Amino acid sequence: MSDMILAVENLHVHYGSIHAVKGISLQVKRGQIVTLIGANGAGKSTTLRAIMNLVRKSSGRVIFDGNDISKLPTHEIVLAGIGLVPEGRRIFPNLTVYENLMMAAYSRTDKEQIVEELQYVFNLFPRLKERVKQLGGTLSGGEQQMLALARGLMSRPKLLMLDEPSLGLAPLLVKEVFEVIQKIREEGVTVLLIEQNALGALKIADYGYVLETGRIVLEDEASKLLVNEGVKKSYLGIA
Ligand code: ATP
């Protein structure tokens, strides 16, 4: 088994005449937390969406767990073992916590397996267990983010990709989200994390990539990026 779980090779994505991703190559090692940081519009979300085949790649390849998944439809990519928690949570406000989780178990027909998955996510998110019958829309912002993360885990992914999980949360909840991400990794799930909160992301990550206008301009161990002068100035607000 290779220690590389994901490799993106020379990815290009266009939206009409906009060249949003301009030749991105990145690698994610099994068991690590890898983060993509960069300003608004740098192409972070587009990269994740292209990995899932939610947007068309103009060119480039995606290798997951040793297989070329570049041309697979999204649902087969989920079955292969990649989960995506999109930006903005997108939970169903009029469905209960339980129903929200069951929506994510759509690809499972085995009841025992679904029960096991529910136990797995309730173990990680005990607060959701206390609120199984509550409507998603009545949860606090932090709880909704936990529900979105739990939903992403219901397919038991080997790699979980998170798009700005800390966005719009109060500082205390941001801390909690980063702690949960570390817990998810301890459970053996590899994490690819997009964040505008570069400081929080780099603190928990093993490795990081810095994106600027569709290109990777810097990559290194997260501990080294944290002390990099350019990163400190542009992304950490430290002069
Ligand atoms: P953000 O944090 O704001 O989502 P990002 O780094 O994730 O930023 P992307 O959302 O990937 O950036 O956007 C990259 C570029 O592609 C931007 O210039 C954006 O305006 C453009 N873009 C993104 N989605 C679309 C779309 N559906 N149609 C046209 N242009 C798009």
Q: pTM of the entire structure? A: 0.92
Looking at residues 103-111, what average pLDDT do you find?
Answer: 71
DSSP state of 169: -
Confidence of residue 239 (pLDDT cuts 50, 70, 90): low
Q: How far apart are CA 79 and CA 105, in angstroms?
A: 11
Q: Where are the domains of the chain?
A: 1-81+157-167+194-239
Mean pLDDT value across the chain: 92
Q: How far apart are CA 225 and CA 174, in angstroms?
A: 21
Confidence of residue 20 (pLDDT cuts 50, 70, 90): very high
Q: What percent of the chain has pLDDT above 90?
A: 69
Cα angle at 184 between 180 and 187, to 5 degrees? 140
Q: What spacing in Å lies between the alpha carbon of 43 and ligand 1's midpoint?
A: 6
Task: Give the tokens for residue 132.
Answer: 């199984």
Pairing of strands 207-212, 215-221: antiparallel
The CATH architecture that domain 1-81+157-167+194-239 belongs to is 3-Layer(aba) Sandwich (3.40)
Q: Are 143 and 93 in contact (CB under 8 A)?
A: no
Looking at residues 201-227, what average pLDDT do you find?
Answer: 96
Q: What spacing in Å lies between the alpha carbon of 148 and ligand 1's midpoint?
A: 21
pLDDT beyond 70 at 182: yes
- Tell the residue nearest (CA) to atom 17 of ligand 1: 41
- Tell the residue nearest (CA) to atom 1 of ligand 1: 40
Residue with structure tokens 């002068």? Answer: 229
Burial class (CB in 10 A: 0-12, 13-18, 19+), 194: buried
